[in-house]
Amino acid sequence: MGVQGLTGFVEERGVFFTELRVRDTKLVIDGSSLYHRLCFAPDADFRRGGDYGAFAAAVRDFFGVLRACGVAPFVVLDGGRGAEDRKLPTLRGRAAEQLRAAYGLSRGAGGCLVPLLTREAFVQALGRLGVPFVQCFAEADREIAGLANRWGCPVLSLDSDFCVFDLAGGYCPLSHFQWQSVRAAAAPQGCYVPARCFSAERFCRHFGHLSTGLLPLFAVMNGNDYIGLEALEAFFSKVRLPRGCAAGKGGKHLRLQGLLNWLAQFAEPAEAVDNVLKYLKKHQREEIRELLCTSMEDYAPSDVNLEDFFQNGSYECEAARKADVPQWVLDALAKGKLAPFIINALILRSTFLRVQVENMQRPSAHSTALPIRQVIYGLLLRLSHSTEDASSSKQTNELPIVCEFDRCQKTVKKTFVQAASLPPDFCDDRFPLDKLMEVPVSCRQMLLLETLGVKMSFLEPIPSHLQLSVAVTCYWIRCSEPKVKLNQLKALLLMVVSGELQRITDDPDPTVLPAEDDSVAYNEFLKWKEKKLQNDFDLDAAHSFCQWQCCLQMGLYLNQLLGTPLSEPDLSRLYTGTLVHRLYQELKSAPSVENLFILSPKMARLYLVLLNTVES
């Protein structure tokens, strides 16, 4: 993320930072940077698909610290890839990196990989904690910078692009935000988070008379997520860059430092661009000028006013209007009730399917959930584009096509997938995408359940907050290849029951008398968990649980797109990778572990109801 090499360059020279005591202030937080940071905890397990309970606890602790220090957080998340899809090459490169990491982890090497449902678990945690957040239409950097400048407060992120924006309250890198080392101060000030703050003005002063207005050109010329250096190699090979002061370690930042010193001779970007073009062949100049100017706009103020959203819930965005995104879709996206996957499928007809630690010899774990994705594409694309598109499709009876980037063996490949044809209710001209919520909820629920191959009568005995995950589990049993083993199913259901037991123990229902046997059973479960964990890793079982997560992810997205006809399950109580793997291993050697919750009649009953429902 951000400008190539810039983080290392500013870290080596502490002079660009000031010490900051963060308390009693608003703080604009880059949500994507934060959830990556919290997810990569030193003791996290990345091989077994994520421990969303531990992750949600870290999110809760983080915002608890901010509250104790009087900090008012406002979280801003990236949305889709944007209508122009300019970051596609960068995203493909990133997907290949993630695939290499997943392959290494599958073979027992170290490494980090964000578990599949981390973003969804993060959004759910923010909602539970009451932390104000917004999900933007596309990349959020400009909107984060605009909001922070409106309020004069710092930005918290881990993205060197924020060294380029001229931020009134400065940029605090997450790597120097010591929220786990809160300091107390003498009253009346109270406690604070020790942090370091980067100032663009201080940075520019270090390079003579460099104007902050030239930093966007510096970022673009040096290379960022949108533009590579190839176009400017001719410039760098011919120009003599001044060496300036303090060369970097081993000279690895010489070009970066030389470029800053060279730019300092110009008063404003247009003059500098003219001088860059002198070094290029005449026929290239206009194209490169346009490329540089367009890319510098990524650092210009955004037309979206996020203060409006946080005050009255309205998210207005010109780019979304140009892309013909229905207002209810934009509103749901902004409130985190739809995922970026949905907006990418809608406006780009293109999606990325994130790799997990799976068996690379087998087809991608996402292939199990393909029929669910096809229904999502059918809903989004059937009448969402211009009527001209719709009429030509009708004449040829062609279904829309979506391009998916997914794993094939050990490479990222693109495949073209046809959208599903939908039941008559959803093909009715009265209900295009912008009127999807006017389709009766019973029809929307029926489409969801038919896609998952389950009847509502089967789900009646299941608590409402578990119905979607049970329906997804039924789908997984039916569609997985190779077939799910009985012990894998039992391990998964025991894990779900453990989450329920934890829920009623930690957050008891005030209207129901707590049952003594529930807390006894929970304590016994905790004792069992503390026993030494066998460190076996079964790659085929991991692959099967990856398939379940893929099905759950697409089940969640389809449910959201249909206006949540079934309750959304709490991911922090639903999936713990280390636990499900351990249960599976123990069921193979000690089947009695199936009676783990026998001391609680209520939980023992729930387990049997879940098992009977799925098996039937």
201-250 pLDDT per residue, tens = 889 998 888 999 999 999 999 887 677 667 788 888 888 888 654 434 44
Give the pLDDT confidence score for residue 250 in this predicted structure. 42
Q: Quick check: 47 and 105 in contact, CB under 8 A?
A: yes
Positive or negative, the Cα torsion across 580, 585, 591, 592?
negative
Question: Using one digit for the tens of pLDDT, what is the confidence trace for 435-490?
Answer: 899 999 999 999 999 999 999 999 999 999 999 999 999 999 999 999 999 999 99
Instruction: Identify whether 10 is part of a domain.
Output: yes
Identify whether residues 278 and 339 lie together within a single domain.
no
Question: Using one digit for the tens of pLDDT, what is the confidence trace for 59-101?
Answer: 999 999 999 999 999 999 999 999 999 899 999 999 999 999 9
Identify whether residues 43 and 147 lie together within a single domain.
yes
Identify whether residues 286 and 332 lie together within a single domain.
no
Question: Using one digit for the tens of pLDDT, what is the confidence trace for 5-34?
Answer: 899 999 888 889 999 999 999 999 999 999
Identify whether residues 64 and 173 lie together within a single domain.
yes
Instruction: Identify whether 253 is part of a domain.
Output: yes
Give the pLDDT confidence score for residue 247 in this predicted structure. 38
Helix axis angle, 327-334 to 340-348, nearest 10°: 150
Identify whether residues 337 and 212 lie together within a single domain.
no
Instruction: Identify whether 390 is part of a domain.
Output: no
Please identify, among 237, 268, 299, the residue that sits at the C-terminal boundary of a domain. Answer: 299
Identify whether residues 203 and 255 lie together within a single domain.
yes
Instruction: Identify whether 310 is part of a domain.
Output: no
Q: What per-residue string of b and e applies to 320-357 under the rule 16 or more CB within 10 Å gives b?
A: beebebbebbbebbbbbbbbbbbbbbbbbbbbbbbbbb
Instruction: Identify whether 313 is part of a domain.
Output: no
Please identify, among 246, 265, 299, the residue that sits at the C-terminal boundary of a domain. Answer: 299
Identify whether residues 293 and 367 lie together within a single domain.
no
**How large is the average pLDDT for residues 328-351?**
97
**How large is the average pLDDT for residues 123-148?**
97
Give the pLDDT confidence score for residue 507 in this predicted structure. 79
CA–CA distance, 141 with 45 (Å, rounded to integer): 30
Give the pLDDT confidence score for residue 249 in this predicted structure. 46
Residue 383 pLDDT > 70: no
What's the whole-number average pLDDT of the chain? 91
Pairing of β 350-352 and β 401-408: parallel
Higher pLDDT residue, 138 or 512? 138
Identify whether residues 170 and 135 lie together within a single domain.
yes
Instruction: Identify whether 368 is part of a domain.
Output: yes
Q: What per-residue string of b and e applies to 29-66 under the rule 16 or more CB within 10 Å gives b?
A: bbbbbbbbbbbeeeebbbbbbbbbbbbbebbeebbebb
CA–CA distance, 3 with 223 (Å, rounded to integer): 6
Instruction: Identify whether 241 is part of a domain.
Output: yes
Which CATH number does the domain housing residue 250 bear? 3.40.50.1010
Identify whether residues 271 and 420 lie together within a single domain.
no
Higher pLDDT residue, 82 or 431? 82
| Percent of the chain residues past pLDDT 90, beyond the cut | 76
Q: What per-residue string of b and e applies to 139-177 under the rule 16 or more CB within 10 Å gives b?
A: bbbbbbbbbbbebebbbbbbbbbbbbbbbebbbbbbebb
CA–CA distance, 449 with 104 (Å, rounded to integer): 37
Residue 38 pLDDT > 70: yes
How many structural domains are present in the chain? 2
Judged by phi (left if over 0) then psi (alpha if -120 to 50, else beta), residue 111 lies in left
CA–CA distance, 459 with 610 (Å, rounded to integer): 9
Q: Encoding tokens for residue 248?
A: 């970097």
Range of the domain at 215: 6-299
Give the pLDDT confidence score for residue 229 in this predicted structure. 63
Identify whether residues 502 and 585 lie together within a single domain.
yes
**How large is the average pLDDT for residues 243-258?**
63
Identify whether residues 133 and 88 lie together within a single domain.
yes
The residues pairing with 73 across neighbouring beta strands, listed in sequence order, are: 27
Identify whether residues 268 and 355 lie together within a single domain.
no
Instruction: Identify whether 314 is part of a domain.
Output: no
Give the pLDDT confidence score for residue 251 in this predicted structure. 57
Please identify, among 268, 299, 330, the residue that sits at the C-terminal boundary of a domain. Answer: 299
